[in-house]
Structure 1
């Protein structure tokens, strides 16, 4: 039997051909597609600002949609990685109700719906086997508090008379500026790890950058965007936002490390999932709402 060459017959070079090395595609820091991340960020920003200043109810709908998407991501990852069955249906229904009632009735209404949502989770889970009941309902109550209840404070900022949209915009600006300051300063000057076991990329220098940037932005926002606001209040607000945003980011990182995943989802190209964008925003919302109420009141 004739020997079959191990290269195509129409390739005159055969095994002697040398394939030139191909350059490896460039990777963005953190494995993100920077172009997609910027595009998605600008698109989301445009939708949020339009909803804020055109028709408030639309913004409430945006928050409710983000809550449902975040709950879906969180419960899906819990089921996939830990076999925890936190019931999505009562969480989603209760989450939307929490946001809507929080907007119209404030914190008292949100607490009532939070309690009813927890009760609904307990009852809904009774349809399944008793095994791991306590584990599943505990995860469900945690999800109800972590996503929709904290998000309710965003629409409570919006509900303030007169400058409600500007309060929400201040909250968003300070959180984004804090994250940006932490990234920029940490990338350039970061040497001392902040919490290496949780998030190796975070540094103390980055935290200082977050505080400095957020305090400067807070002073400007409180002085020029908030009714009766003072620049010194903005300094305190910015410092508090830097702390809460960092803690929120670390908390989300802790959850993802426990689950053994990098991102909570893939709905937002270049960003990961909805929960990967809400990590700093959720714990910051009640902090901003409380300080705004102390500084300038919270009339609805």
Structure 2
């Protein structure tokens, strides 16, 4: 437990100043986190992190995460075009790789590029628009996780997903949503960010559920590849994917909501 707390404090000491600085420092930090998570994901499949296909993935991630920085001067550099080009390149590479690059590897690479890339692109965009919104979203995720654990431990009886994550319960999941609602309400009283998040409580419920789904999805991936942790970068916590699993799913939801103007920017 002490190791987990110390690790969390060290990474918060890095993350918070970078978030406050913003600009290219934050952009590159976001890409670095995305690249590490991507490397953890493909490593589960046995794809070498310095392989040709992995390098293609890192390059694609860079242009997706920082798409808003390039699209003004290079209109063709949209996320969709990057994914299309990457797909074609990986498929052609598969033909000449002597079965080193297989179709299932291509599928995982593209899933990682799109799923992780879009999440951190949204992360960068929100930081530009509303500094406090990043903390608001993280409060929802953290309190959902903590609330689900505490409520589930005390009152949990019905399994939420017995095969994927046998310790999670329906009662815990519901408790996590309720506690995140209370925490987000308190946060907005202290730091109003309603100009970018509306209608607030409906969004909190959606993001709270989304965070729990992100956790379950990462657990399903690890169970499929028979690994306990996504990595070992965070002593006591596992890998970065283990810590950012909820945030990645939530940011993809927000990306979708942005297109409908619910998250205005």
Q: TM above 0.5, one fold?
A: yes
Decide which of 220, 242, 245 is 1:279's aligned counterpart: 245
**Other structure's SS at 2:160 match:** strand
1:288 matches 2:248? no
RMSD (Å) for aligned C-alpha atoms: 2.6
Does the 8 A contact of 1:75 with 1:87 survive in 2?
A: no
Using the TM superposition, name which of 47-56 and 111-120 deviates more: 111-120
Structure 2 distance, partners of 1:287, 1:221, is 21
1:73 aligns with 2:43: no
Contact 2:177–2:205 (8 Å) recurs in 1? yes
Does 2:22 align with 1:55?
A: yes
Q: 8 Å contact 2:196–2:264 — kept in the other structure?
A: no
1:109: which partner in 2? Answer: 78
- TM score, norm. by length of structure 2: 0.86
* Mapped contact 1:64–1:99 kept (Cα < 8 A): yes
Q: Distance in 2 between matches of 1:46 and 1:251?
A: 28
> Shift of residue 217 of structure 1?
2.5
Corresponding residue of 1:148:
117
Post-superposition offset of 1:86: 8.9
Distance 1:218 1:104 in 2: 34
Compute the TM-score of the two structures, normalised by the length of structure 1: 0.77
Secondary structure class of the residue paired with 1:158: helix
Q: What is the correspondence of 1:1-300 to structure 2 with a 5 Å cutoff? A: 34-79=1-46, 87-102=53-68, 105=71, 109-130=78-99, 133-160=102-129, 164-222=130-188, 224-226=191-193, 228=195, 233-291=199-257, 294-295=261-262, 297-298=264-265
| Separation in 1, partners of 2:215, 2:38 | 17
Does the CA contact (< 8 Å) of 2:196 and 2:263 recur in 1? yes
Q: Is the 8 A contact 1:192 1:205 kept in 2?
A: yes
- Give deviations 1:136-194, integer Å, cap 9, x for gaps: 2122211212222222211121232xxx2212221222111111111111122211111
* Of 233-242 and 214-223, the range deviating more from structure 2: 214-223
Secondary structure of the corresponding residue to residue 201 of structure 1: strand
Per the TM alignment, residue 70 of structure 1 is displaced from its structure 2 partner at its CA by 1.1
Displacement over 4 Å in runs of 4+: 103-106, 289-293
Residues 191-249 of structure 1: CA deviation (Å, up to 9, x unaligned): 1111101100100111011101211223344453315368x832112111111011111
Select the structure of larger CA radius of gyration. 1
SS of 1:284's partner is helix
For structure 1, the 5+ residue unaligned runs are 1-33
How far apart are the structure 2 equivalents of 1:58 and 1:239? 32
Match of 1:15 in 2: none
Local SS of the residue matching 1:279: helix
Structure 2's unaligned 5+ residue stretches are none
Tell me the number of residue pairs that the alignment of Structure 1 and Structure 2 aligns.
257
